[in-house]
A and B are shown apart, each in its own frame.
Chain A
Amino acid sequence: MTTVSSSEGAGVPGIDLRGGHVRGGTPVVLSELTCVFGSTVALDGFSLDVGPGELLALLGPSGCGKTTALRILAGFQEATSGRVFVDGRDVSSLPAQKRGMGMVFQSYSLFPNMTALDNVAFGLRLRKIGSGERRARAMALLEMVQLADRAGRYPHQLSGGQQQRVALARALAIEPQVLLLDEPLSALDAKVRAQLREEIRALQRRLFITTVFVTHDQDEALTMADRVAVMRGGRLEQVGPPAELYRSPETPFVAEFVGTMNRLPGRLTSAGRVSVLGRELGARGAVGGLGTEVDVLVRPEDLMLSPAPEASGIVTSVTFRGAQSRVEVLLSADLGVKVDVASAKAVALSPGSLVEVELSPACERPLVDKKSSRQAEASGAAPAAI
């Protein structure tokens, strides 16, 4: 551990708040992790690289193995096979207490018998740091999470958000090489959650600490992370920057899990081309012969509406969302689509309006999937709503 005590009173002794310039950040590699519990395969050949100082979000539906991956990285759980490398070293056989990773848990994990200050100082105490310095450092960390005035409180005297902030300070106190967060915000209410997102992100940037953030909330992943790794059934589905996942998902699962997706009926016309809503264009993931009926995945902002008295589309709802409004249109008895429209235009629409739906010119190379029954569509759309 490199402890550079700074003499400035305001800073965190031992933790350089401009960390990025001092510490280089630590790369983490998960290689071919498999983890089996009885008959459950929690991880199935899961590999992932996390760059130095990067905030990577592990995103996926409940039960897809996110926590298991994190616990293996932390050393709480042994993988059935596979390796973990931190800073190029294989730490697979190192017990959790020797890995020096800070962790914040989903449930409140502060030690109930200790004050906020003692909780933060716990790791420093185990590192045999003298009581004066320990106290000063713990206090500085509490200041960093804006809880210096609650130093003497016990966990049960703190709100959920405050408890998670103390837990964050406690995890950072040991100057971890890697910070692990397992759905730390999921027990909090929306407002506190949004605020803490920003605080965690800002802190992480400032300390330039390699961070893995587990969440099942796509908003959280997209807004906070440098890169998002989408998991499904113990495997990595796709990893990339939020915009890339959103704009060019590689699989229908990612497409529908990240953001909102419409499934429109289409037909393959020639190699790699599909006809949908009266237009023919290049497509990705097209499988099957000519004339195969497929679903074409199109985002709400890639559709356009025009009012037309003879049209077959009926507006069922208009939801104001600031600059854009989300308009739901029924194209046929079993086909509803969501369309994003500039709010200025949407004022002309109301439930019952007849509209024509077209692909916008901006829509390029949409993803194509096997045609699903309408029921499958309903359940396919569900993860995005979680």
Chain B
Amino acid sequence: MSAGVSVTGPEVLSGPGGLPGATTAAGRHRKGLLYWRGRRLRPWRFAVLAVAGAYFLVPLWAAFRFSLAYNGTGWSLEAYVDLGSQQGFAPAIWLSAQLAIVATGLELVLMVPTAIYVHLRLPKVKRVMDFVTSLPIVVPPVVLILGVLAVAPEKLKATPFLLALEYVVLAVPLSWRALDAGVRALDVHTLVDASRSLGGGWAVTVLRVLLPNMRVAILSATVLTVALVLGEFTMASLDLQQTFPTWIYVYSQSNGHVSVAAAMLSLFVTWVVLVGVSALAGRRGGREIALV
């Protein structure tokens, strides 16, 4: 599920909604085959769309349907109503939320200055960064967490925030790519020079000039990190932390309907966050910047 979210994230943001000028009066009123925003859907296109759609939607629909069949059959929202009072639900949600906030905060503090600095001062290091930042994808999470658990100090191991640190590492490939694209879209050298010639020191230049123009990239790095934290299972379970995903898993052993309802809810919440962010990013005049 989490994988589904982080994969669809960028697509939702950069959106099929922006086919410019696709809606024409003529297009809307033509008769015959299927039309979407004035474009004729040729049969094969339609087929591809249908298959891809089914691939994503059928499991979701099945899960949703299952969550409604609380007492074995029928339609009932009871699973959702009961969710809040389930044992461990609230603490798990709270833990995941904390981890998401801490990990995202650290991620941005670490990666935003890195992206700016590398582009401004170390252009030759860009390639190295592309490679280094993809390591967390290459190294399986199981290996990562076992290695960390073997060497981490006991004090840190006793808190759930070891997990937050792990998530910071895990999210580096996603956030680097988002931020790198954001900086790339700007002529950072000229913007920095312009700001400095007008009297801007470094703080002013970064806060007033660079960050506002990286808004979309920062938002997308945020969304990707949050989605990752809310969906990560392997590390959390090996670190014996009851995060939201591990809670869903454990709880599904006793009540499948409620745990699926929880999964559906988290999917819905993540989706709302994505839409919210894309609305935020699309607002105001700023230039469109490719997301990932």
Contacts and interface: CB of A to CB of B under 8 A. Distances in A.
B272 interface: no
Interface stretch (A53-61, A95-103, A222-230, A341-349): A95-103
Given A126-B204, A156-B287, A112 B198 contact: no
B213 interface: yes
Interface string B191-202: 101111111110
B194 A174 contact: no
B198 A109 contact: no
Given A154-B285, A156-B285, A157-B285, A109 B200 contact: no
A97 B212 contact: no
A21 to B, nearest CB: 27
A236 to B, nearest CB: 24
B204 A171 contact: no
22 contacts: A75-B196, A76-B193, A95-B196, A96-B196, A96-B197, A100-B199, A101-B197, A103-B194, A105-B193, A109-B187, A109-B193, A109-B194, A111-B209, A113-B285, A126-B199, A127-B199, A154-B286, A167-B194, A170-B194, A170-B198, A174-B199, A180-B197
B187 A97 contact: no
Interface of A: 71, 74-76, 95-103, 105, 107-113, 115, 122-123, 126-127, 154, 156-157, 167, 170-171, 173-174, 180
Contact of A102 (B197, B201, B286): B197
A151 to B, nearest CB: 13
B110 interface: no
B186 interface: yes
Contacts of B198: 97, 122-123, 126, 170-171, 173-174
Closest 3 CB pairs of A and B: A123-B198, A154-B285, A113-B212
A111 to B, nearest CB: 5
A97 to B, nearest CB: 5
Nearest to B185: A112
Given A154-B285, A156-B287, A97 B199 contact: yes
Interface of B: 186-187, 190-191, 193-201, 204, 208-209, 212-213, 215, 285-287
A105 B194 contact: yes
A154 B212 CA distance: 14
A105 B196 CA distance: 13
Contact of A111 (B194, B197, B199): B194
Contacts, number: 80
B197 A171 contact: yes
A127 B200 CA distance: 9
Contacts of B186: 112
Contacts of A180: 197
A105 B215 CA distance: 24
B151 to A, nearest CB: 41
Contacts of B194: 103, 105, 109-111, 167, 170
Contacts of A156: 285, 287
Given A97-B196, A97-B200, 10 more contacts: A74-B193, A103-B193, A103-B197, A109-B194, A111-B191, A113-B213, A113-B215, A122-B195, A167-B194, A173-B198
Contacts of B208: 122
B198 to A, nearest CB: 4
A97 B196 CA distance: 5
Contacts of A171: 197-198
A101 B198 CA distance: 8
A76 B213 contact: no
A23 to B, nearest CB: 19
A99 B286 CA distance: 30
A101 B194 CA distance: 10
A50 B187 CA distance: 30
Contacts of A157: 285
B187 A96 contact: no
A75 B195 CA distance: 13
Contacts of B212: 111, 113
B66 to A, nearest CB: 46
A74 B199 CA distance: 12
Contacts of A109: 187, 190-191, 193-194
A128 B200 CA distance: 12
A100 B199 CA distance: 7
A123 B199 contact: yes
A71 B215 CA distance: 29
Nearest to A95: B196
A174 B195 CA distance: 12
A178 to B, nearest CB: 11
A1 to B, nearest CB: 11
B287 A112 contact: yes
Nearest to B193: A76
Contacts of A113: 209, 212-213, 215, 285-286
B122 to A, nearest CB: 15
A73 to B, nearest CB: 11
Contacts of A108: 187, 190
